Amino acid sequence: MLATTTAGTWGITGAQFLWGYGALCAATAAGVWQAYHRTYGPPASPIEPLPELSVCQIGVLNEGPDCAITAATARLYYDGLVRGTDGTLVATGELDATAYPIEREVFETVSREPWLSVDEMRGRVRESAVMRSLTQQLTRTGLLLDEKAARPLRLLWVLPALVTSLGVLRILAGLADGRPILVLAVMTAAAGLATAWVVFMRPAATRRGQDVLERLAASTIPTRVRPPPPR
């Protein structure tokens, strides 16, 4: 079957192209995997004690700053300290002294600008010193991926995308020549899925951070929502 697949297209037999394309796919996958492994670092030790994380810190590790802002806003809304109408927010009441810093930042942002839209509030808090301090703390502890280290990953999708494009071009050429392309189509589809994975699967947390999140999710130990009150 391999011998007849797109045989003669571009002056290369089907078998030759499939073996070469398979090797290219394998080399690309290995390179992408090594880049991810190097960037995200080693996993957490199974005997490492679980750190005490707030809901907002867990939100940052899960899906980034916006998740933490959403968690803080939801807590304020639940406590009756903010209310919303038509996508805007307004502060009500008085914030407790033990409120978590992100909660305080959300509350004060809305207090300064009543009826601020949710998107505008989120943008202000995302760029605040409080959020920078939170992300820096998580980065220093090795739980959150360093922004500089993550930059090369933004272009990593180019490699599998080029491999996918080569497969698509070969498929089109094979169809034009009336050659069978089933095996090549399957391989190209796999390369396309790998490209989508590289584009969309970029966790905010390091491998150590991901392991901590998994252990926290499986643990019965409650996480602290607010810092303890000052003594």
Give, for all 231 residues of the chain, the pLDDT tens digit: 444 444 466 777 878 899 999 999 999 999 999 988 888 888 888 778 888 888 899 999 998 999 999 999 999 999 999 998 888 999 998 888 888 899 999 999 999 999 999 999 999 999 999 999 999 999 999 999 988 877 777 788 899 999 999 999 999 988 888 888 899 999 999 999 989 988 887 788 999 999 999 988 887 554 444 444 444
Same domain, yes or no, for 59 and 134?
Answer: yes
* Domains identified in the chain, total number: 2
Tokens 């252990």 correspond to: 215
Same domain, yes or no, for 105 and 70?
Answer: yes
Question: Which residues are registered as beta bridge partners of 205?
Answer: 144
**pLDDT at site 150:** 78
**pLDDT at site 14:** 78
| Angstrom distance (rounded) from CA 229 to CA 10 | 73
User: Residue 71 has which token pair?
Assistant: 């968690």
Same domain, yes or no, for 59 and 41?
Answer: no
**pLDDT at site 133:** 94
Domain boundary among 140, 174, 189: 140
40 found inside a domain:
yes
User: Residue 96 has which token pair?
Assistant: 């407790």
8 Å CB contact between 126 and 69? yes
**pLDDT at site 77:** 92
Write out the residue range of the structural domain in which residue 74 sits: 55-140
**pLDDT at site 176:** 85
Q: Residue 26 contacts by C-beta under 8 Å, 6 or more apart in sequence?
A: none
User: Residue 92 has which token pair?
Assistant: 């009500």
In the sheet that holds 116-117, the strands lie side by side as 82-85, 88-91, 116-117
User: Residue 218 has which token pair?
Assistant: 């499986």
Same domain, yes or no, for 72 and 135?
Answer: yes
Count the neighbouring beta carbons within 10 Å of the beta carbon of residue 99.
20
8 Å CB contact between 162 and 194? no
219 found inside a domain:
no
| Angstrom distance (rounded) from CA 155 to CA 174 | 30
8 Å CB contact between 98 and 75? no
188 found inside a domain:
yes
Tokens 């003594």 correspond to: 231
**pLDDT at site 12:** 79
User: Residue 177 has which token pair?
Assistant: 């020549």
Q: How many residues does the chain have?
A: 231
Same domain, yes or no, for 22 and 70?
Answer: no
156 found inside a domain:
yes
CA dihedral (103, 105, 110, 112) in degrees, to 10, reads 150
- Look up the pTM and report it: 0.71
229 found inside a domain:
no
**pLDDT at site 87:** 87
183 found inside a domain:
yes
Same domain, yes or no, for 111 and 182?
Answer: no
126 found inside a domain:
yes
181 found inside a domain:
yes
**pLDDT at site 229:** 45
**pLDDT at site 93:** 84
